[in-house]
Amino acid sequence: MNLFYQPRIPEGIYYLDADESRHCVRVLRHTAGDNIQVTDGKGYFYKTTITQADDRQCQFRIEEKVAQPLRDFFIHIAISPTKNADRIEWFVEKAVELGIDRISIIECENTERTYLKKERLEKVAISAMKQSLKATLPAIEGLISFNDILTTTEAYKYMAYVDMQNPDHLKNIAPQKNSYIVLIGPEGDFSPEELTLALQHNFQKVSLGNSRLRTETAGMAACHILNLVNS
């Protein structure tokens, strides 16, 4: 099954944009009268019928609007960009597949790359949302300074940070049905000053397991653990 994306359905736009129209009409060879499923990325699926199979602006009629079941938890991962841009894109893809509500790309003291192709990340997120048949596109924000992320409002605030004081494993301390943020540091980890600041803002150090994980793997692991806690 294919899912198409049109974020402006709530504004009354009942056609696919150029890329989606080409894919729908030229690649998948849909014609007028075919039923296709479209999402607005805002929580709704639309069962539609193609009225005009134009490969630059494929028109459709909405037959039924279906809400995606709401999740009773909220996952926010705030992560440093990786040196290699592919890796943060990969994180976005996998987090969307596994289920995520908000992604913040944060600039830490040891962050080496501060140039961010946000449009590219959004494209990856849209593609992963469609592929995994979800109707909600997570918000992607960034770059945000480390200090600014500390004032976030989630109920449970964690920082992935492994040290000799052996923090608790995220899977054992995150309560079900809540809102969470997890901070994931850059290749060079958070600085001692950043750790102190985070603790002052009521963040709690957590472990993601015994393995030393790359930045993007740690972000994915945190997202997966919080989904598992709630499943």
CB of 224 to its own copies, least distance (A): 6
Question: Are 6 and 13 within 8 A, CB to CB?
Answer: yes
Does 160 bind its own copies (CB under 8 A)? Our answer is no
Question: 132, 145, 147, 196: which one contacts its own copies (CB under 8 A)?
Answer: 132
In terms of CB distance, is 53 or 221 closer to its own copies?
Answer: 221
Does 123 bind its own copies (CB under 8 A)? Our answer is no
- Interacting stretch for its own copies, rule CB under 8 A, among 6-14, 115-123, 189-197, 210-218? 210-218
3-state secondary structure the chain: CCEEECCCHHHCCCECCHHHHHHHHHHCCCCCCCEEEEECCECEEEEEEEEECCCCCCEEEEEEEEECCCCCCEEEEEECCCCCHHHHHHHHHHHHHHCCCEEEEEECCCCCCCCCCHHHHHHHHHHHHHHCCCCECCEEEEEEEHHHHCCCCCCEEEEECCCCCCCEEHHHHCCCCCEEEEEECCCCCCCHHHHHHHHHCCCEEEECCCCCCCHHHHHHHHHHHHHHHCC
Does 90 bind its own copies (CB under 8 A)? Our answer is yes
CB of 54 to its own copies, least distance (A): 29
Question: 17, 34, 97, 148: which one contacts its own copies (CB under 8 A)?
Answer: 97
Question: 126, 160, 224, 226: which one contacts its own copies (CB under 8 A)?
Answer: 224
Does 211 bind its own copies (CB under 8 A)? Our answer is yes
In terms of CB distance, is 76 or 224 closer to its own copies?
Answer: 224
Q: Show contacts with its own copies in window 170-189 (CB under 8 A).
A: 171
Question: 16, 88, 98, 183: which one contacts its own copies (CB under 8 A)?
Answer: 98
CB of 134 to its own copies, least distance (A): 7
Q: Rounded to an integer, what distance in angstroms lies between the CA atom of residue 34 and that of residue 25?
A: 10
Instruction: Give the rounded distance of the alpha carbon of 166 from its chain centre.
Output: 29
Question: 30, 76, 94, 102: which one contacts its own copies (CB under 8 A)?
Answer: 94
Contact residues toward its own copies (CB under 8 A) are 90, 94, 97-99, 131-134, 169, 171, 209-214, 217, 220-221, 224-225, 227-228, 231
